[in-house]
Every structure is written in C-alpha cells, then in structure tokens.
Structure 1
Amino acid sequence: MFWTVLFCLCLWRLDGVFGEEERSVLLMEGESFTLDSGLTEIKDDDEIQWRFGNTVIAEINKWADRFTVYDDVLDGRFRDRLKLDKQTGSLTITDTRTEHNGHYRLEINSGRKKKIKVHILGRRLVLVKEGESDTLNSDLTEIKDDDEIQWWFGNTVIAEINKQADIFTVYGDVLDGRFRDRLKLDKQTGSLTITNITIEQIGSYTLWINRVRKKKINVDIRERRSVSVPEGFTFTLDPNLTEMKRYDWIRWWFGNTVIAEINKRADRFTVYDDVLDGRFRDRLKLDKQTGSLTITNTRTEHAGVYELQMRVSYRYSLKAFSVSVACLPVPVISRDCPSSSSSSSPPSSSPPPPSSSLSSSSSAVAAASHPNPFINQTRDLNITQSVRAADIS
C-alpha cells in the first residue's frame, strides 16, 4: 500500500524566502510511501533530483533521456526499494526501515522546491506465543569488514559480531543459561533469532552497531486465544476504546498487510478492502468512534492473525487477535413418505439450528444473517462474535 505524502502530512510550512514547502510524515516500519513531486508531467527541459540528506538517490534529465535511481548509495540502505515515476518525477520508497528516517529534498531545475521529513516507527513491541521463534532484524543487508555488532538483553551481551576479528558468537550460557540452545546469529546481516521463547526470554533487547545504539525491541508473550467464527457470520475486533482523541491513530493489519486505519488528526478513516486479491471487499466496517473493526460474511480465507497498532494518548501499543473460521456443513433434509394417510404423523418441524462453539472469553452480540436459509434459523441465537482487546492481551 502506498501513501502519497500529500495526504500523510503532519506538519506543513511554506518558506517564503526559498519557496520551499516542508512536510513531516509519520509511518510504520514496513510501509511504502510516495514522495510527491507535485507535477502532472515533466517538461522536456526539466531536471529533477531527489536527495536524502546531501546524497542524490534519484534523478531525471528528460533532455538526456536519463531516469536513474541510486539505490546502492549510503551502504545500500535503499537497495531495491526505490521506484521513480517517469511521468511525474514522484519517488516511491518501499518496505521502509528505521534507517530511512530523515530529510528528503526535491530539486527541480537546480531550485529547491520541497523538503519532506520522514519519521518511521520501528515495530518495537513484538508479541509472540510461548514456544514460538522470533527474529530481531538488524536492518542490514550485509555486514562490512569493520563492523562491530552486539545484541544485549537488558544489561547483558548475548550475541556479537566483529568481522575484522572473525568473531561470530552467541552467549547462550549467560543469565543462568536461559538462552542456551535458543540463539541463532545471521553472519551476513547480524539479525538474531530466538527460538522456543518462554517467559524467561521476554524483556528488552538492544542492538548496537559500531558502539551506536540502533534499535530497542521489547519482546513479550501474549496468549492468542482461539476465536472460532462460523463461516458466513460476522465478528468484531474491538480495541477496547470508548472514544478516540484528536491525536490518536490506529492501524489494523492482516498478516503483513494494512486493511484499515484511523488517523484522527488527518481526519482519515479508511478501509483497504481491495488488498490481498479483494478477499475483504465489501466486508470491512470501521467504527470511527472506537476503532473497532467488523468483518462481515466471513470465509475461511479470513482466518489468520489480525494485528492492531495503536497510538492512544501518546502511548504506543501492539495487540494480536487469532481468528479461525469454521466451515459449516450443508444440511441434508430427508422426508420419510408415509405408507398410508391413516398412519401418517404430522410433518416434523424444521430441524434444530446448528450449534456454534465460540471462545468463552468473548462476549456475544446481535447475530448476523447468513445467505443459507437453513443457517438463517440461528438468527435468534446471538452468535455474532465480538472480540475485545482486553480478552487477548
């Protein structure tokens, strides 16, 4: 999903001396965004440059027929992430990381026209299920010969790389051996994988590169209760908010894809129901007051992990919901033909409605209608699912 910076601005300023617009953009790590040139079409004599800090990362010279991205500069942090629009000169950066934080400048015909400050929030809270593995990414594509990398757990070093000294070490026996046989260090990128996570491994992890702190990640365990919803019915994911305030925002993910978001300050209330091949098309309803997300007429393809990212009252949090969708069998109704009218009994009433097994921790609300007329007999059974964040976290 691409964000046009024009609609993501948190700050706008026009500098009358230099004629330069300045905007500020807040994004989550992993998102893509577009730096909008503001042009509808490049003229034949136009020269356009995009800079990150003082480094040119993309340029267009239409007269020379040159359309170039320089994604190997700055240690390759933009490698395979830059897309330049040849018609408008806009620049898209995909799969963002915190190392893409900074100032981007647009220059047209050697005159500065626009400055955009981008701040990317890392997914600093990681929720895992007990027994699962998780990889703490270094955000490096390759370690340089003079790089020194250390991963700390609290105040203790648990892994380090010193390429010059040929040191690639995990310290699984520290802290009473709580990491023994659980640490795997990627020698190419410096990322650290923790396997079979238990309550002893939850806490704060810090990445240091060349004695500079680059990232702090909090790992916590959340029980993902199984929420089972019958196919065809409706369920609601509730962040347990009564009302969103002016500066609050929330973002709903399905897997690695954003499917809905609210940004109160930007007055943006959006569902992205065409993503993932349209599996959510016409099925998402977002409550503008509470941020609750309702999925209607569910199918088995809607089963999976839904993740909620929130900034509420200036505090960031991450919650997870695991949803399974149960296939209901199509009923077969048979009628016994009586041998004679005198011995016939009154026709039996409609078969009893199918039962629905739902998570005991979740509250039930008004039931949804199902397209199958047989299943519609359950309309008074109160089986539409409402899942509250408090039930999961």
Structure 2
Amino acid sequence: MVVASRIFVPEPAAASFRLAALVAALIGQGADVEVLTVRPAPQHGGQDGAPRTDDAETDAHIRRWPVLRDATGTVRGYVPYLSFDIPLFFRLLLCRRPDVVVVEPPPTTAFVVRVVCTLRRIPYVSYAPDVWSDAARGTPAPRVLVDAVAAVESWALRGARRVLAVSQQIAGRVEAMGVDHESLVVVNNGADTRTFTPDGPRTDEGRYFVYAGTTSEWQGADVFVDALRSVLTVAPDVRIVFIGQGSAWEGLQEQARDLPEGSVVFMDAVAPAEAAVWIRGALSSLVSLRPGLGYDFAFPTKVFAAAASGVPVVFAGVGPARDVVAGADLGYAVEYDEAAVAEAMTELATRETDREARTAERTRLSRWARRFGSIERSGEDAARAVLEVAARGRSVSEDRSGVSRLT
C-alpha cells in the first residue's frame, strides 16, 4: 500500500506523527508500505536528500522528492503544493500497483490521488484533519478561488472508500459535503505517549509557559504575548518560550519587542524528545485557536502532548479541544480574549502546590493522555480502516488475476 503526503517525519507536525503512527501500525500488521513524500526541510536534515535514520526506523519504503517551500520552510501555498502534486501524479501512475492509497491533504493532492486511482482502479483512503474550504472562506482569497477549493475538496473526499476524520465535528462537516456516512471513520489525533511522559529530563530554565508547535494566523498565538504584559506585573520572572515555526513567527517576534527583554524566547523547531524536555519543565502548555477563520473544528495535538507530559494546558479559543480541556480538567479553557488568558496564566504563575499534589496532577494528566490521546492507538484505529479497504481491493484483484497480495 502507498501513503501520499507532502509532509512526513522527521518534520515536526501533527500530520507527520499521525501518518508515522499509521505506517507503524500497518507494518505491524504485516503490510508492505511505501511512502511517497518530500525531502525534509534543511533544518530537519533534508539539505542533500540523503537517507535518514528516521526513514530506516519506520521500516517503510520512503520515497522522497524535492519540493518548493515558502519563506518559513513550510510546504504551503498553491505553487509549493503543485510542486509536490504534479510529480506525485507520475509517481503514483508508475509505481507497483498497491491495494490501497492513503492520502493526506491539501485537496490538490487528494485530487491527484483520485484521478490516478480512478485510472488504475485502486481504492483510496483520505484523511480529513480539517476542512480546507472552510478555512479558505476565512481568508481574503477571491470567491472564485474559494469555490474552486470547495469543489476540489468535496470531489476528492467523495471518491474515497474511507474518510478518516479526526473529530466528530469534522466528520459532520465532511458528511455535509456529500460524503457517505458509511465511509466515515473518526480517528482522533494523539501524542506519542512513549516520548511525552511526566518522567524524564526537564529544563532548568526558571519559570516559563511553553508554546510548542506551528504558529499561523488561524492559531492566533499572539493572544498569549498580549496577555503576558499583565502577567508580568504579578509574576515578573515568568517567560513564554515559543518552539516551532510558521507564518506568524516574525509577527510574534515583532510583537515581543514591546515587552521586557528576555520575557519571550523563540526557538526553532526541535525533535519531539527535546520538545518533551521543555514541556515537562513548563508551568503549562499554551494552545490557541482563533475563532472564525475556518478552523473552529480543529483539535490541536499540543493538548495531548501536554497532558501526556503531566502539564496543564491553557487553551484559548473555540472548538472541541476547549470542551475536552474543561471536561477532563486538563487545565484552563477560556475565551480567545487577552484578559481571560492573562487571568488563567496568572493563576498558574502564582498558585502554590506541594510536591505531592504536583506529582498527583502529573500522574492524572498522563493517565488520561495514555487512555484518550495516544497516537499509537490512533494509528492502530486508522490502520484497521485502511486494511479493511485493502482487503476489499485484494478481493477484486484476486478475481482478476487469481493472485493475492498485501501491498
């Protein structure tokens, strides 16, 4: 079987980790998996396209292709997408016929997969981590372009034998786009609960909040920088540490210049094991979703990583993650509002807990994450859905050739 994605490990992103977990689960079930993806960004070892130990550790056949990236090093935007999608058309057309193809958005990639799979009579499974056309409506993009994205996305999703939605809310939106209810499977995101644990090394960098992951317009991490000004009046020793990258990175740096020097620290994206060290040592993990930009149904995996590390969350914004944080008592779930965020951060910065209480909190949070937010379990759930489609594909293949295979 084949996995087609413009992003894959070692690049740190929810899609990378989700797909790696799926590949691991498929291989664990005896599948032969080929991943058609891109060369990593230079900061993740992709400057020369040489094979990486990360590739070997997956036990999958990783086929990487050069791709255009934006100024932040991300494969983002229609031209970078096409720099992956056009070669993908021929890579899929010429590869050994798989029983099933798994595709990760954007919709242009799913479009290519549907075209090739139709030509070769191969079933495919599509991930739906969010609804791209909803997000496009929250941008200044021309209406004709937004309508085109919606049409492409809907057409690509409707052709999939299975659509793996990362939440019930996303599943509902996808079904409203015309996808058959029977083809929908909800497979929640998760964190690597073997890497993100409450036990292990922690930073010795004083008191800080951590934002680990991508920063973009729709996440709206600037609300935390705005809130920090109020927090510093009560707890002048605390900082925010941003670890990652993204389109909002430079804007956040500019915003931070208005605060006392050193109160906001920016670090490039790091490997998950190093990110875990920083999360373990934090007062809390900061997570946000700016309302009204088309990502109201998204569920940031930063919530799972924080809980798995035994650290509370300050969640600002909308979406299913807010209900989960509040319902499972994972920290503070507040409006996307500077004053509300500042109040939550101040409470965390000034609360007094003894070692026994803190240990009990860490244990409770990590147990919750292992039960409800494990990416290994999510990978196994996704693998079952993919293998069901593969089994049906093999049945068709056997009817034609009398030969059974699992690829």
Is the TM value for this pair above 0.5?
no
Give the helix-richer structure, 1 or 2.
2
TM-score where L is the length of structure 1:
0.27
TM-score where L is the length of structure 2:
0.26
Higher RCO (C-alpha 8 Å, min separation 6) = 2
